[in-house]
């Protein structure tokens, strides 16, 4: 019995001396000190993750894109891409917005991004399920729909033209995604 207690104490002492071992979400700052590493994240000042998207960003109002902000991307990011889609659409996942070749130095997109296929700083927009380029806001036929803003960190800037479809963009990004995060908002149209 005494040897079992000694063995358990030995295991506890070994684990205590290995602070942070196996934990990939901490980073040593100096001997004996650790700080948590913040995850790659996407937020909006217009709505919080899981909340209702304000109608100003939908087809029931001005239908402008919401402001987006991201932080803590991977260190070797070469560019960003965004895909916004609605998997609750009645036929297939509905693609609302495609943006790519966002410069690695950028940390946000302001609201009301122009509908042009080519924007400043080499940013490009893709072809959506609305058969247009640029943002097309939530416009569900009925019920609650979930809208996913997916942000991808890529290790390169894509050598691709504007107006890519979601499938074409995913193919172009294949092998270059080094980080991914998302923001989800909900929307239900009021019955008239």
For residue range 59-99, list pLDDT tens digits in order: 999 999 999 999 999 999 999 999 999 999 998 999 999 99
Q: Is residue 10 part of a domain?
A: yes
Give the H/E segment covering residue 85. Answer: strand 79-86
Please indicate, yes or no, whether residues 135 and 165 belong to a single structural domain of this protein.
yes
pTM here?
0.81
Position 18 scores a pLDDT of 41
Q: Which of the residues in the chain have pLDDT under 70?
A: 1-37, 191-192
**Pair (149, 91) in one structural domain:** yes
Question: Does 192 fall in a domain?
Answer: no
The answer on 61 and 128 residing in a single domain is: yes
Residue 121 lies inside a defined structural domain of this protein: yes
Domain identity same for 16 and 60: no
Which range marks the domain in which residue 83 is found?
Answer: 39-187
Q: Are residues 19 and 66 in the same domain?
A: no
Beta bridge partners of 43: 69
Contacts of residue 126, defined as CB under 8 A and 6 or more positions apart, other chains included, come to 98, 99, 100, 133, 162, 163, 164, 165, 166, 168, 169
Domain tally, the chain: 2
3-state class (DSSP) for residue 7:
helix
Is 73 buried (19+), middle (13-18) or exposed (0-12) by CB count in 10 A? buried
Is residue 14 domain-shared with residue 60, that is, in the same domain? no
Same domain, 64 and 117: yes
């Amino acid at each position: 019995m005494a040897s079992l207690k000694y063995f358990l104490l030995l295991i506890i002492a070994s684990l205590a001396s290995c602070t942070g071992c196996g934990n990939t979400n901490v980073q040593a700052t100096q001997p004996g000190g650790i700080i948590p590493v913040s995850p790659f994240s996407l937020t909006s000042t217009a709505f919080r993750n899981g909340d209702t998207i304000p109608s100003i960003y939908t087809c029931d109002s001005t239908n402008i894109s919401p402001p987006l902000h991201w932080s803590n991307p991977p260190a070797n990011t070469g560019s960003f891409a965004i895909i916004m889609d609605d998997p609750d659409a009645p036929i297939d996942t509905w693609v609302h917005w495609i943006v790519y070749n966002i410069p690695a130095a950028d940390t946000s997109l302001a609201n009301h991004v122009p509908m042009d296929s080519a924007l400043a700083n080499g940013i490009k927009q893709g072809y959506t399920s609305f058969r247009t380029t640029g943002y097309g806001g939530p416009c569900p036929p009925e019920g609650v729909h979930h809208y996913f803003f997916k942000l991808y960190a890529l290790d390169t800037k894509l050598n691709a033209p504007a107006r890519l479809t979601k499938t074409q963009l995913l193919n172009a990004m294949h092998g270059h995604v080094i980080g991914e995060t998302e923001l989800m908002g909900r929307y239900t149209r009021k019955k008239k």
